[in-house]
Amino acid sequence: QVQLVESGGGLVQPGGSLRLSCAASGFIFSTYLMSWYRQAPGKERELVAFITNLSSTNYADSVKGRFTISRDNAKNTVYLQMNSLKPEDTAVYYCNAFFKNSYWGQGTQVTVSS
């Protein structure tokens, strides 16, 4: 019943932009902390950004000033706007919802390469 479906990933050149979306269903979206994580090959999964139910945000140092997380509670969707992309941003990006339970999407591949 609970679903998180990511979209918007793909191949982009360094310096380019992508906007990831995560469409949620099956739970009360507005009460959940929403986050984006990423995992590169051979690396641990890392927190990229989160946004609270009151729309407070936090970012990993590596993406500050380049990425913006936002949410639209009316659409049950969280977004990650990614600008000035670098090759080191290449990873599978995962959407997470947390309140008392934690839910994960299947991930979407982002590849930054020339």
Q: What does the pLDDT look like over 51-104, one tens digit per residue?
A: 999 999 999 999 999 999 999 999 999 999 999 999 999 999 999 999 999 999
Joined together, the tokens standing for residue 2 give 């609970």
Longest dimension (CA), the chain: 42
At residue 16, the pLDDT reads 98
Helix (H, G, I), strand (E, B), or coil: what is residue 1? Answer: coil
